Amino acid sequence: MNLDQLQIDARPRPHAQAIDLGSALLREHARTVYLTWWAIWLPLGALIALLSPQSLLVWNWLLLWWLRPLIERSTIFILSRAVFGEQISVKQALRAWPSLLRLGWLRSLTWWRPIMVGRGLYQPVWVLEGARGELANLRRRVLGARGAYGSAAWFGVICAHFEFILQFALISLLGIFLSSAEQINPFLLLQDEFAAGRWENHLPLLTYLFSAGIIGPYYAASCFTLYLNRRAELEGWDIEIALRKLARRRSSQLAPALGKSVSKTISKTLGVLLAAMLAFAFPCTPAEAAADCSKLARPDQRTASRSASANPEQARLRQSIDQLAGSEEFSNWECVEGWQPKPKKPEKEEKDDRDWEWLRKLLNADGPKLPVADILKPVFIALLIILVAWLIYRNRKLLGGLLGSDKDEKGFVPAAEICGLDIRPESLPSDIPASVLALWHDGQHRAALALLYRASVSRLAHRYALELAAGFTEGDCLEAARTAVRNGQISKEAGEHFTDLTRIWQAAAYADRWPEIATLQQLCQRWRQLHGGAQ
């Protein structure tokens, strides 16, 4: 790997940019990548179509999906060469593909790896680095850190959605065209509707072939550039490339003046500088940094801070002091190692601090203490309860239907008003026939007939529990009564009485045609026989 030949700008990028770089790279080499992909993809699909049993034709595309990580290797191979300026032809890529399969093909297809949505990030570990076992695990952990695997996984989810949409759209489109004109069914292909041996049976596979054939290379390319970005970040490719450029420039400037040997020296110096910078960029671990206590020089500050002795007395005193200090009691030296938390970083911007200081004071326990959480919690719970209650109330009919609760089970509530007449039992007089006749004799013919009619409807609704809605007309009530007679809910006589009464009431109410008193008396008498006089 020669970083000087790298065709992309190897600076550490945000993950989204790194993924986007993959699409740019794919655009550049789309012809080779897609042709290679389809050259493997199509025969593989044809083979699966031929070998699948008839009963599995709707779902055999899943086999193709399972084998897809192996096809993705061709894209990685082409692009890994392309980023270092090596142009691979389709033929070369196809020739190289079988050898790529040897690099952990079983690993790619087993365990959780085929269903791992971010597998594109790890494919180069197997394919390009050839890592295996524990080393591969370690590499995966390192590469997937700092959210790189998360980005690859989310990108995988997005690509899977696009694939699904494309495949489903194709299935629906073909379903619409293939279904009969009388009954258009977009899901025809998923319903195993075609006879054995028909070419239409292979269409689900074909739709997957098409959708994955478009999205698949895109996913592999983008994950590959995410992998490159992660390596550039970890290995400081950009720094290395920059220093190499600097070294080249300096050597080319100095070469004519100082000769070859000097330029070599400068190159070496820069090399050392590079090593030092890399060491700085990747500081050693705490274990390495902490020196062995036994190797540490004993602190001897006394001798270090002494001035030169002025007289023999002082020299003698110093000697005795040193003798004493050198005794075992004063020579205890201990080296203690331990962990300490790093000091917290100062806040980024003091300005922000000032802006939000009032809120922090308000919410912080140090400031004026307000029970914000204590207030908000019950408020949110109450709002949630209200929302749920409102949704239940709004969809009560639907819920009633789903739970299969009939009106009978819930207890049917009879209507209070039919045709504008109050039919609640409590609104009626105790002796209805007597009241009807009294009103009639009083000259209130309409009121008399209305009372008799609403008393009859009230009986139907409240005594016989007929379901009468507020919008029912006389005809609807009559039909309900006839149905009730057929069902045995009310007697035939009661049904006939209600029919006669309705006719008379309609003629009176809408045509001002009033019955004879004898007719009314007869109706009242029949009413009394059927329902009894008093409430």
x/- letters, 256..285, toward other proteins (CB under 8 A): ------------------------------
506 versus 521: smaller Cβ distance to other proteins: 506
How many residues are recorded in the chain?
Answer: 535
- Select from 467, 457, 446 the least CA-distant residue to 502: 457
Neighbours of 28 (CB within 10 A): 16
220 versus 450: smaller Cβ distance to other proteins: 450
Shortest distance in whole angstroms from residue 417 CB to other proteins: 7
> Residue from 8, 67, 153, 419 that binds other proteins (CB under 8 A)?
419
Burial zone of 444 (CB within 10 Å; 0-12 exposed, 13-18 middle, 19+ buried): middle
> Residue from 1, 379, 511, 518 that binds other proteins (CB under 8 A)?
511
Angstrom distance (rounded) from CA 481 to CA 470: 16
Shortest distance in whole angstroms from residue 496 CB to other proteins: 19
Sign (positive or negative) of CA dihedral 364, 368, 372, 375: positive
Residue 41 binding other proteins, by CB under 8 A: no
Please state the separation of Cα 522 from the chain's center in Å. Answer: 75
125 versus 457: smaller Cβ distance to other proteins: 457
Residue 418 binding other proteins, by CB under 8 A: yes
Shortest distance in whole angstroms from residue 513 CB to other proteins: 8
Q: Which of residues 447-506 bind other proteins (CB under 8 A)?
A: 450, 453, 469-476, 506
Start-to-end CA distance of the chain, whole Å, equals 103
Angstrom distance (rounded) from CA 302 to CA 311: 18
SS3 411: coil
> Residue from 136, 254, 507, 530 that binds other proteins (CB under 8 A)?
507
Shortest distance in whole angstroms from residue 453 CB to other proteins: 8
Do residues 163 and 212 lie in contact, with contact meaning Cβ atoms separated by under 8 Å? yes
Q: Which range in 9-17, 227-235, 383-391, 411-419 contacts other proteins by CB under 8 A?
A: 411-419
**Token pair of 86 as six digits:** 């090596």
Total residues contacting other proteins by CB under 8 A comes to 22
Task: Provide the greatest CA pair distance for the chain.
Answer: 157
Residue 509 binding other proteins, by CB under 8 A: yes
Residues 6+ positions from 440 with CB-CB distance below 8 Å: 448, 517, 520
Angstrom distance (rounded) from CA 168 to CA 174: 10
Kindly give the residue spans of alpha helices, DSSP state H, lying in 364-491. 372-394, 396-403, 407-410, 432-441, 445-458, 474-487
10 versus 450: smaller Cβ distance to other proteins: 450
Angstrom distance (rounded) from CA 450 to CA 436: 9
Q: Which range in 167-175, 258-266, 416-424, 523-531 contacts other proteins by CB under 8 A?
A: 416-424
Angstrom distance (rounded) from CA 421 to CA 129: 89
**DSSP annotation string for 190-204:** GGT-SPTT-GGGGHH
Shortest distance in whole angstroms from residue 400 CB to other proteins: 16
Sign (positive or negative) of CA dihedral 14, 20, 26, 27: negative
112 versus 510: smaller Cβ distance to other proteins: 510
Q: Which range in 133-141, 430-438, 484-492, 509-517 contacts other proteins by CB under 8 A?
A: 509-517
Shortest distance in whole angstroms from residue 193 CB to other proteins: 22
Do residues 25 and 208 lie in contact, with contact meaning Cβ atoms separated by under 8 Å? no
237 versus 472: smaller Cβ distance to other proteins: 472
> Residue from 322, 417, 431, 467 that binds other proteins (CB under 8 A)?
417
Shortest distance in whole angstroms from residue 454 CB to other proteins: 8
100 versus 423: smaller Cβ distance to other proteins: 423
Residue 140 binding other proteins, by CB under 8 A: no
Residue 446 binding other proteins, by CB under 8 A: yes
Shortest distance in whole angstroms from residue 476 CB to other proteins: 7
Shortest distance in whole angstroms from residue 35 CB to other proteins: 41
Shortest distance in whole angstroms from residue 503 CB to other proteins: 9
Angstrom distance (rounded) from CA 274 to CA 184: 70
CA distances in angstroms from 261 to 95, 246, 449, listed in the order given: 46, 18, 128
Shortest distance in whole angstroms from residue 459 CB to other proteins: 17
Q: Which residues bind other proteins (CB under 8 A)?
A: 417-421, 446, 450, 453, 469-476, 506-507, 509-511, 513
